[in-house]
Amino acid sequence: MKRLFTTLFALTLMHSPAWGQGALPSTNFAALTHEHTDGLCVRYDATATNALSLVAWQRDAGLDLPTNQVIFVVREQARLTLPAGTPFGDAGAPFWILPQSQNPALLYLGINVERVPFGVFSGPISIRLKQFEGPGYFVVWQATGPGQYNIRINTRDGLSAADTFQPLIGAHEHFNWGFSTTGVYCATFQAVGRRIGETTDITSLESTFLFHVLPLPPPTNYATWAKSHWPPGFNPPTTLTNGNADSDAFDNLHEYAFGLSPTNANPITAAPQFNFVETGGQRFGALTFTRYLPALDLRYEAQVSGALPGGWVPLTNTHAIETGATNTIERVIPRDFLPVTNGAQRFYRLRPALLPP
């Protein structure tokens, strides 16, 4: 009898166009590492539904970046050791700072209200930190003299109304942006102001800014993994498990499962591969695939069938588990329970699936 051994792997493709100066299409985002950027730039448009809005103004390229299309990268060069006597942590502890004085190797991040016209508001615009999520605490301040700190944001003591910038209309200021550990931080801000002659405030939509403090630790669930690659709210069809921004052979769920990059095309050789293994003097069909170890919310279903389209049963025999090239991946080789001497045709597949929350 003719024997057929087949490995099944689904392909999903999606086009992702290039972007030009002035705006980003919805399939792209900018990861800023060392540019002069007014990270919280307030805009005013009296004709808009929300007259106030927050964007990241990438001054060097002349780009207005919606908050769901930008990642602020805090490079490893931003790390320093805290001296004694600061309000930012214990002496000797590591701390990552984007400084208020420009360092060409680091992102130069400011606050900008230059694009709000004079004569509209009765006082300064407030930019309030409304929500915060991160692996450590987040502090923003200006150094006003030796040992003197004008702190505007400090999540070390929780979140309150005191966590607010109040730049004057027409102002452009720079601050120190400090982080207590590496990882992904999400800071949600809202601009608030009162127009002359009115008795109530107007507000912008709440806008979430994403900071990557490098090196990023391995994510332990899909949501954190997605934030380590895309800003919150970025083009949801792209960031969902069935999205495929880099147009390779793998959707996001498979990129996550195999420890691949969802923003750089991967070769088809990264897919599960069919092979033969020998054990107990007999030869068996088997799969070899890469498992992403930090993915604690994922299960891997290796299956075999004697015919298509159905009749799939799990491969419960593991021939080997091999150490991967890094401490975040390993190679797993589940084998068939029927030896090739059985003479039956066999089809193999691997189905990663997210566990229920």
pLDDT tens across 268-277, in order? 999 999 999 9
Answer whether 23's CB lies under 8 Å from 95's CB. no
Same domain (yes/no): 68, 200? yes
Q: Report how far residue 213's alpha carbon sits from residue 181's, in angstroms, rounded to the nearest whole number.
A: 7
**How do residues 211-244 score in pLDDT, each as one tens digit?**
999 999 999 999 999 999 999 999 889 999 999 9
Give pLDDT, residue 14: 24
Q: State percent of the chain over pLDDT 70.
A: 92
In a domain, 351, yes or no: yes
Q: Does residue 98 share a domain with residue 7?
A: no
Question: What is residue 309's predicted lDDT score, i.e. its pLDDT?
Answer: 86
On the question of pLDDT at 186 being above 80, the answer is yes
Tell me the pLDDT of the chain averaged across its residues. 90
What's 230-249 look like in SS3? Answer: CCCCCCHHHHCCCCCCCCCC
76 and 123 part of one domain: yes
- The answer to whether residue 22 is domain-embedded is no
- Chosen domain end from 185, 213, 241: 213
CATH number for the domain that contains residue 302: 2.60.40.10
* Shared-domain flag, residues 199 and 252: no
- Answer yes or no: is 236 within a domain: yes
What integer pLDDT is reported at residue 296 of this predicted model?
94
Q: How confident is the model at residue 18 (pLDDT cuts 50, 70, 90)?
A: very low
Whether 9 shows a pLDDT value over 80: the answer reads no
Both 67 and 195 in a single domain?
yes
Contact 125, 137 (CB under 8 A): no
Taking the C-alpha atoms of residue 329 and residue 289, their distance in angstroms, rounded to an integer, is 10
Contact (CB, 8 A) for 164 and 156: no
Residue 138 three-state SS = strand
Instruction: Output the pLDDT for position 146.
Output: 81
287 shares a domain with 269: yes
Average pLDDT of 57-67?
85
Banded pLDDT at 313 (limits 50, 70, 90): very high
Stretch 302-306: mean pLDDT, rounded? 94
Tokens coding 24? 């980003």
Which letter, b or e, does each residue of 322-340 get, where b requires 16 or more Cβ atoms within 10 Å of its Cβ? eebeeeebbebbbbbeebe
pLDDT of residue 226: 94
pLDDT tops 60 at residue 127: yes
Q: Is residue 40 part of a domain?
A: yes
Confidence of residue 24 (pLDDT cuts 50, 70, 90): low
The residue out of 213, 236, 252 marking a domain boundary is: 213
- Is the confidence at residue 195, as pLDDT, over 70? yes
pTM score: 0.86
Q: Whole domain around residue 39: which residue ranges? A: 30-213
Residue of higher predicted confidence among 208 and 24: 208
Name the residue among 265, 338, 323, 272 with its Cα closest to residue 301.
272
The partner residues of 355 in beta bridges, in order of sequence, read: none
- Could you tell me if 169 and 242 lie in one domain? no
In a domain, 276, yes or no: yes
Of the candidates 111, 112, 158, the one whose C-alpha atom is nearest the C-alpha of residue 139 is 158
Q: What's the rounded mean pLDDT across residues 253-271?
A: 95
Q: Are residues 290 and 168 part of one domain? A: no
For residue 8, pLDDT over 70 is answered with no
Report helix, strand or coil for 141.
strand
The structure tokens listed for 223 are 């949501």
One domain for residues 232 and 153: no
Q: Which of 6-15, 111-120, 161-170, 219-228 has the lowest mean pLDDT?
A: 6-15
Q: What's the pLDDT score for residue 26?
A: 59
pLDDT, residue 154, reads 96
In a domain, 205, yes or no: yes
In a domain, 23, yes or no: no
Q: Are residues 247 and 206 in the same domain?
A: no
Number of domains in the chain: 2
Q: How far is CA 38 from CA 113, 174, 222, in A?
A: 9, 8, 30
**pLDDT at site 27:** 64
Does a structural domain hold residue 226?
yes
Using the structure block, give the residue that is written with the tokens 């792997």.
9
CA-nearest of 352, 357, 336 to 3 is 336
Mean per-residue pLDDT, 326-351: 93
Asked whether residue 48 falls in the same domain as residue 84, the answer is: yes
Signed CA dihedral, 30, 34, 39, 43: sign only: negative
Q: Are 39 and 188 in contact (CB under 8 A)?
A: no
Q: How far apart are CA 72 and CA 76, in angstroms?
A: 13
Q: Which of 161, 195, 213 is the last residue of a domain?
A: 213
H helical segments located in the chain: 222-227, 236-239, 252-258
- Judged against a pLDDT cut of 90, whether residue 326 lies above it is answered with no
- At 25, is the pLDDT very low, low, confident or very high (cuts 50, 70, 90)? low
Amino acid 357: pLDDT: 82
The pLDDT of residue 63: 84
Asked if 186 and 254 sit in the same domain, the reply is no
What is the distance between the alpha carbons of residues 181 and 135, in angstroms, rounded to a whole number?
A: 7
Rounded to whole angstroms, the Cα distance separating 220 from 149 reads 36
The three-state secondary structure class of 31 is: strand
Distance, C-alpha 28 to centroid of its chain: 13
Q: Is a pLDDT exceeding 50 seen at residue 78?
A: yes
